[in-house]
Amino acid sequence: MGFVELFLIAIGLSMDAFAVSICKGLCMKRLNMRQAVIIGLFFGVFQAVMPLLGWFLGKQFESFITPIDHWIAFFLLAFIGAKMLFDAFHEDGEELSCPVDQTINYRELVMLAIATSIDALAVGITFAFLQVSIIPAVTLIGVTTFVLSVLGVVIGHTVGSRYEKVASIVGGVVLILIGLKILLEHLGYIG
């Protein structure tokens, strides 16, 4: 798997964190870059740790799954992408609730970071089967998520929630297409 594919996966995985960061930015009466960086760090670190955990799990079962690894990668990425698309089109339309005191709720931030990085755990499992060099991959995913999360806070504060749905749709489509590419390469349809 090349740099471009890994970068696209990193972008796709970071879209949930990006969307949540936009919401966090919406809640800021004044743009607080310190809080934006903290939010970015939480999302970036969790987004990097989860595929690493998935990779370790995948390595434990590699000998059993290698013959069908391309199918597993395809189904996991397609499922994650489809979930992102479903969520984008089936939002519940609830009003955004912002804290009155404008401080960071670290417990909530940990929960959000876990929730937005669960997909990365599954991607880490596919990395194990595809023999992806894990340290550069998780570094790229973590840094990309950090940058996009900080950017999401700034965008949320500046322009509002107009792009939250678009971000989820783009992320979902990218993950599905990468899963399809992996499947077609292993089946010999594309080089």
pLDDT, tens only, 140-175: 999 999 999 999 999 888 875 566 677 667 767 877
Q: What integer pLDDT is reported at residue 48 of this predicted model?
A: 96
Quick check: is 100 in a domain?
Answer: no
CA triple 154-159-160, angle to 5 deg = 95
What pTM value is reported for the model?
A: 0.72
Mean pLDDT lowest among 3-7, 21-25, 65-69, 81-85? 65-69
Return d(Cα 126, Cα 73) in angstroms, integer. 5
pLDDT in tens, 34-83: 999 999 999 999 999 999 999 998 888 777 766 776 787 788 778 877 87
Domain that holds residue 129: 3-90+105-186
Average pLDDT over residues 22-31: 80
Contact 133, 59 (CB under 8 A): no
Contact yes or no for 66/164 (Cβ under 8 A): no
Count structural domains, the chain. Answer: 1
Euclidean distance between the first and the last CA atom of the chain, given in angstroms as a whole number: 12
- Closest listed residue to residue 136, CA positions, set 46, 5, 6, 4: 6
Is 174 part of any domain? yes
Asked, for residue 191, whether it belongs to a domain, the answer is no
Q: Which helix (H) or strand (E) holds 152?
A: helix 134-159
Average pLDDT of the residues in 122-140: 90
Q: Is residue 98 part of a domain?
A: no
Q: Does the pLDDT value for residue 28 go beyond 70?
A: yes
Give the pLDDT confidence score for residue 7 in this predicted structure: 94
More confident of the two residues 133 and 162: 133
Q: Is residue 99 part of a domain?
A: no
pLDDT of residue 20: 81
Write out pLDDT tens, residues 69-113: 678 778 877 887 787 788 778 765 554 455 555 678 888 888 888
Residue 110 CA to residue 154 CA, distance in Å, equals 20
Within a domain: residue 95? no
Amino acid at 164: E
**Is 74 part of a structural domain of the chain?**
yes
Mean pLDDT of 106-130: 85
Q: What is the pLDDT of residue 164?
A: 64
* pLDDT the model gives residue 52: 95
More confident residue, 1 or 139: 139
| Residue 97 domain flag | no
